[in-house]
C-alpha cells in the first residue's frame, strides 16, 4: 500500500518506517477493532502529512527509473509483460492528483470501505465517492493514452 | 453517434454512482435505481463496463511486492524513537536527518575510541599531565634549589588538602 501511494521504493521505505514509529506510539490508544483499517489509516496520514510538507517545500524529483522501482523479475515473457503492465498502471496512478489517488489506493489496494476512507481523510462519504470515481475516470483516460486500455 | 448522445454518455460516465455500485456502496434504494438504469440504458452499462475494467486492473495489481531484502532492511534498521511520547513524527526528511545524525554519532564514537586506543598504545605521545602535578614538580624543583624549608612544607600542605 505504501508503494502504491508513493510510487517508489525509497519513499515507501520511509513511509513504512515513519508509520512504524507512529504505530509504536499509538499502540496504547489502539482500541480493538479493525487492525488492518487502523494500520491503513496511519500509513495514509503519514503519507498525507508528507505530501502537505512537500507542497510547502517543493522539490524537483528525479525522473522515475523503473529498474529501481520494481524488483528484478524472472526472464519469462509472461512475468516481463506483467511487470511492464504493472509499471504502466503504477505510473498512471502516480499521475493522478493526490485527492483522487489516495481514495483509489485505499479502496482498490487496501480494500477499505467508503466509510473507513471518509473517516481516514476527514471528508464526507459523498466526497469519497466522487473523488474515487473521478480517479477511476482519469486513470482510464491515462491508461488509454498509454495504450494499456483500448 | 450524435453530439447530444456523446454528451449524455459523458454525463453518465461521470456519475459517481457507477463506482459506488461496483463497490457495493449504494443504499438499497439507490442501488435499485442504478440497477434499472443499467438494464434499460446502454450508456449506463457501457460506462459501468469501462469503470469496471479500470477497477479490476488496479485490484489485480494488488499490493506491491517489496524488493528483495526490503523487509529485512526495515526490520533490522535502527528506528529508535528519539521523540517524546507526545511529539508527532511526520517529516520523512527528518527520518533521513536522524539516520545521518546516527551515522555521524557512530563515526564520532568510533573516532573517540580510536583516539583512546592510540593514547594507550603510544604512551607519552599524547598522555596529558595534570596541571597541578606539573606545578608541584616545578615548585619542588624550585624549593630543592633554594633549600627553603617553609616552601617545602607549603607544598606538602597543599597536596594534603587535595585529599580532603
Interface confidence, given as ipTM, is 0.73
Residue A19 domain-assigned? Answer: yes
Residues B141, B114: one domain? Answer: no
The grid cell for B55 is: 477497477
The grid cell for B143 is: 624549593
The range of the structural domain enclosing residue B49 comes to 3-61
Global pTM reads 0.59
The range of the structural domain enclosing residue A92 comes to 2-145
Domain count, chain A: 1
Residues B135, B104: one domain? Answer: no
What is the pLDDT at residue B153? Answer: 44
CATH number of the CATH domain containing A80: 1.10.10.10
Residues A67-81 as b/e (b if ≥16 CB within 10 A, e otherwise) read: eebbeeeeeeeeeee
Give me the tens of pLDDT residue by residue for chain A, a chain 150 residues long: 888 888 888 888 888 888 888 888 877 777 777 788 888 888 888 888 887 777 666 555 555 554 544 444 445 556 666 667 788 898 999 999 999 999 999 999 888 999 999 999 999 999 999 999 999 999 999 999 998 887
CB contact under 8 A, B19 and A136: yes
CB < 8 Å from A in window 4-43 of B: 13-20, 23, 25
Which residues, 6+ apart, have CB-to-CB distance to A91 below 8 Å? A7, A64, A146
On the question of pLDDT at B107 being above 50, the answer is no
Residues B9, B50: one domain? Answer: yes
CB B26, CB B17: distance < 8 Å: yes
Residues B145, B116: one domain? Answer: no
Residues B57, B9: one domain? Answer: yes
Residue A116 domain-assigned? Answer: yes
Express as a percent the part of chain B with pLDDT over 90.
29
Residues B11, B54: one domain? Answer: yes
CB contact under 8 A, A12 and B64: yes
The separation between CA B74 and the C-alpha centre of its own chain, rounded to angstroms, equals 11
| Closest CB to A24 among B19, B74, B81 | B81
Smallest Cα distance from A1 to chain B, Å: 5
- Lowest-confidence region among A44-53, B4-13, B56-65, B123-132: B123-132
Minimum Cα–Cα distance from B77: chain A residue: A17
Residue B54 domain-assigned? Answer: yes
Residue B143 domain-assigned? Answer: yes
Residue B19 domain-assigned? Answer: yes
Domain count, chain B: 3
Burial of A102 (0-12, 13-18, 19+ CB in 10 A): buried
Residue A84 domain-assigned? Answer: yes
SS3 A75: coil
Integer Cα distance of A136 and A117 in angstroms: 16
**Higher pLDDT pick, B62 / B91:** B62
What is the pLDDT at residue A124? Answer: 97
Residue A150 domain-assigned? Answer: no
Residues B108, B150: one domain? Answer: no
Amino acid at each position: 500500500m505504501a508503494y502504491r501511494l508513493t510510487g517508489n521504493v525509497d519513499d515507501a521505505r520511509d513511509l513504512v518506517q515513519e508509520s512504524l514509529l507512529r504505530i509504536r506510539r499509538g499502540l496504547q490508544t489502539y482500541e480493538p477493532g479493525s487492525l488492518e483499517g487502523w494500520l491503513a489509516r496511519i500509513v495514509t496520514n503519514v503519507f498525507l502529512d508528507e505530501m502537505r510538507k512537500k507542497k510547502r517545500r517543493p522539490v524537483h524529483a528525479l525522473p522515475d527509473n523503473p529498474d529501481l522501482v520494481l524488483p528484478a523479475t524472472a526472464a519469462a515473457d509472461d512475468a516481463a509483460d506483467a511487470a511492464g503492465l504493472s509499471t504502466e498502471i503504477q505510473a498512471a496512478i502516480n499521475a493522478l492528483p493526490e485527492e483522487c489517488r489516495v481514495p483509489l489506493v485505499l479502496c482498490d489496494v487496501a480494500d477499505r470501505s467508503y466509510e473507513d476512507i471518509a473517516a481516514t481523510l476527514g471528508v464526507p462519504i459523498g466526497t469519497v465517492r466522487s473523488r474515487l470515481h473521478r480517479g477511476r475516470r482519469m486513470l482510464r483516460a491515462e491508461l488509454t493514452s498509454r495504450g494499456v486500455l483500448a | 453517434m450524435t453530439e447530444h448522445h456523446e454528451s449524455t454518455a459523458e454525463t453518465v460516465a461521470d456519475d459517481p454512482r457507477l463506482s459506488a455500485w461496483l463497490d457495493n456502496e449504494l443504499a438499497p434504494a439507490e442501488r435499485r435505481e442504478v440497477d434499472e438504469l443499467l438494464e434499460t440504458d446502454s450508456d449506463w452499462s457501457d460506462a459501468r463496463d469501462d469503470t469496471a475494467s479500470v477497477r479490476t486492473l488496479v485490484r489485480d495489481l494488488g499490493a506491491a511486492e517489496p524488493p528483495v531484502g526490503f523487509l529485512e532492511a526495515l526490520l533490522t534498521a535502527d528506528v529508535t524513537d528519539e521523540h517524546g511520547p507526545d511529539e508527532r513524527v511526520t517529516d520523512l526528511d527528518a527520518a533521513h536527518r536522524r539516520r545521518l545524525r546516527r551515522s555521524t554519532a557512530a563515526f564520532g564514537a568510533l573516532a573517540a575510541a580510536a583516539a583512546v586506543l592510540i593514547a594507550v598504545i603510544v604512551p607519552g605521545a599524547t598522555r596529558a599531565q595534570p596541571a597541578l602535578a606539573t606545578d608541584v614538580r616545578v615548585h619542588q624543583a624550585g624549593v630543592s634549589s633554594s633549600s627553603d624549608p617553609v616552601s617545602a612544607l607549603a607544598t606538602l600542605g597543599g597536596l594534603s588538602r587535595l585529599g580532603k
